[in-house]
């Protein structure tokens, strides 16, 4: 596969599934700089993964797999802040804030997701994207029962917190 | 808010993306990062391989067999690490657990390798100082050499600790992922 073909596929995937990557970026990175950095890292890993994609699963499953693995490792590793800053100064900004309507409930949901640990965060994202237990198990690499247990716990937690939020606005 | 409502709120993002991508800047960034990553890793690995193997062969000619063998072994270990990395970096079909397993194995390799390189300073330093002493060099040079090796040994401890803490982080993440699986097995 030539570099051009690889670039074309990446662009096509980004055009079609960019929302998916934005959601992951927003859930795992909390400053504009980190989001920019994580988005670049995910794009690079997706680009690298293009030749390995054999069409054995849906593109969305593939993108989630590559992006979540990258995001989890990103949130764990110690980042060299000065190096990132230098990278950003060298290039133009890649992620430009869209003039989208800001829904407070969405802000709240992201806030709650950000408080979860890296693994539960991934499962929550997959759950909100309507992946089946089987698909989630194949992406995460744990049993469907384990996925079920975690999902029940996360749902219960989110619903309880939303009730508190509705009652007290906190 | 019930979960179904959360799901609806979540889905609004599909029609109204939060960001716009600057595609030209992204293309440049990918090209730069790709070349930079490959360059740094390749240079570091190739340097370790060439320097250790080259120096090992040259020292062999001087008759210092122990030091030569040791350096050749280190060169071969670096080569094996490179082959392993090359084989692993193209595997994108791993699950999250598979990816963490791979990350643990690489981190483990880095810990063992940095440890080996650290302790390697002692025999190499000792053999070099010994051969200089044998050639009746000045005491100032001996003290300078010993200080240099001591400082290198101390500094390499930082690198070793950095890799250990990175491995610990990945292992913690792996444990977190497997926590419920283990609990499940115990209940059964």
Q: Taking CB atoms and an 8 Å limit, are B33 and A26 in contact across chains?
A: no
- Residue B63: band (very low, low, confident or very high) from pLDDT cuts 50, 70, 90: confident
Q: What pLDDT, on a 0 to 100 scale, did the predictor assign at position B183?
A: 56
Q: Which of B17, B95, B169 sits opposite A140 (nearest CB)?
A: B95
Q: What pLDDT, on a 0 to 100 scale, did the predictor assign at position A78?
A: 46
**Is ipTM > 0.90 here?**
no
CB B26 within 8 A of CB A94: yes
Task: Kindly report the nearest CA distance between residue A81 and chain B, in angstroms.
Answer: 16
Give the pTM: 0.74
Q: What pLDDT, on a 0 to 100 scale, did the predictor assign at position A76?
A: 67
Interface test with B, best of A19, A63, A150 (most B CBs within 10 A): A19
Q: Which of B24, B29, B173 sits opposite A118 (nearest CB)?
A: B173
Partner B, chain A 86-145, Cβ-Cβ below 8 Å = 87, 90-98, 100-101, 103, 105-106, 109, 117-119, 122, 128, 130, 138-143, 145
CB A36 within 8 A of CB A93: yes
Q: Is A116 helix (H, G, I), strand (E, B) or coil?
A: coil
Q: Taking CB atoms and an 8 Å limit, are B92 and A141 in contact across chains?
A: no
Q: Which range (A1-15, A55-69, A80-94, B94-108) has the least confidence?
A: A80-94
- The string of pLDDT tens digits covering residues B111-142 is 887 888 888 888 888 888 887 787 777 888 88
CA distance B97 to A68: 11
């Amino acid at each position: 596969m030539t570099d051009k073909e690889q670039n074309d596929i990446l662009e096509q995937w980004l055009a079609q599934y960019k929302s998916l990557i934005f959601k992951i970026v927003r859930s795992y990175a909390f400053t504009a700089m980190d989001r920019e950095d994580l988005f670049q890292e995910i794009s690079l890993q997706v680009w690298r993964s293009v030749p390995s994609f054999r069409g054995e699963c849906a593109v969305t499953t593939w993108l989630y797999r590559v992006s979540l693995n990258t995001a989890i490792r990103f949130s764990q590793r110690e980042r060299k802040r000065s190096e990132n800053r230098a990278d950003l100064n060298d290039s133009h900004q890649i992620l430009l804030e869209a003039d989208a309507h800001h829904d407070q409930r969405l802000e709240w949901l992201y806030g709650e997701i950000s408080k979860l640990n890296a693994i539960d965060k991934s499962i929550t994202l997959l759950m909100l994207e309507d992946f089946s237990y089987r698909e989630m198990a194949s992406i995460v690499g744990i049993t469907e029962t384990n996925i079920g247990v975690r999902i029940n716990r996360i749902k219960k937690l989110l619903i309880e917190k939303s009730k508190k939020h509705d009652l007290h606005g906190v | 808010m019930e979960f179904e409502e959360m799901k609806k709120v979540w889905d609004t993002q599909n029609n109204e993306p939060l960001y716009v991508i600057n595609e030209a800047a992204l293309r440049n960034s990918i090209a730069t990062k790709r070349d930079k990553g490959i360059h740094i890793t390749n240079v570091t690995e190739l340097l370790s391989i060439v320097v250790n193997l080259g120096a090992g062969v040259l020292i062999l000619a001087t008759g210092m067999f122990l030091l030569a063998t040791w350096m050749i072994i280190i060169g071969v270990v670096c080569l094996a690490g490179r082959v392993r990395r090359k084989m692993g970096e193209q595997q994108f079909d791993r699950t999250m657990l598979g990816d963490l397993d791979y990350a643990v194995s690489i981190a483990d390799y880095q810990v063992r390798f940095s440890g080996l390189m650290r302790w390697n300073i002692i025999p190499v330093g000792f053999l070099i100082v010994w051969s200089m002493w044998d050639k009746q060099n000045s005491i100032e040079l001996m003290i300078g050499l010993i200080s240099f090796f001591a400082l290198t040994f101390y500094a390499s401890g930082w690198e070793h600790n950095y890799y250990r803490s990175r491995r610990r982080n990945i292992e913690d993440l792996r444990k977190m992922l497997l926590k419920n699986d283990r609990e499940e097995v115990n209940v059964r």
